[in-house]
Amino acid sequence: MTYERFGKKFLELASRYREYFGEIQELREHDTLTKFLLPLIEALGWDLYDLREVKEEVSVPGLRGSADCILYLNDSPMIVWEFKPLRTTIEFHDCSTPKTVAKSKLRGLEISKKLKAKYFTMSSFRETVIWNGQSEERIAGLGLAADGTNREQYQKMLWRLLSRSQVVLPVPKKV
């Protein structure tokens, strides 16, 4: 996947977002997943049908709960991804469930650390926040404006940090 092809697909998704914006409270997590987040992950160059690359609902031994999705590169977990309904805001908590978001963030960061994943990402498509999976430092976060005015900025952030072609494996330490 090239950035240009990603841009075209992202424009389609952003247009769909604007189309559904009036119904945002009605959409559930599964709707957001199938209509926005999985197409986004695929547009970022990840192969949704390759279980060595994308796994959903992953249980991690020794931890409660599961990761909504983990993206792998050469058998190494790169991104632990938590999906949220389109109506959910992640950082600004103007939704009715900020405790749920906070619990999901803690669980996702715990899973990321245990798996040694590069990033933990939480997204409702409306908003995406990315943390370093090991240090828990917030790396980036942005919400898509309803009118799409910041679409290019949002698109660039997603591509730069989450596209398969931009995620780099850590260099092995010499023993």
In order of their start, the domains of the chain are: 3-162 (3.90.1570.30)
The fraction of the chain above a pLDDT of 70, given in percent, is: 92
pLDDT band at 35 (very low <50, low <70, confident <90, very high): very high
At 93 the pLDDT is: 47
pLDDT band at 149 (very low <50, low <70, confident <90, very high): confident
At 99 the pLDDT is: 73
Main-chain phi, psi angles of 79, to 5 degrees: -135, 125
pLDDT band at 173 (very low <50, low <70, confident <90, very high): low
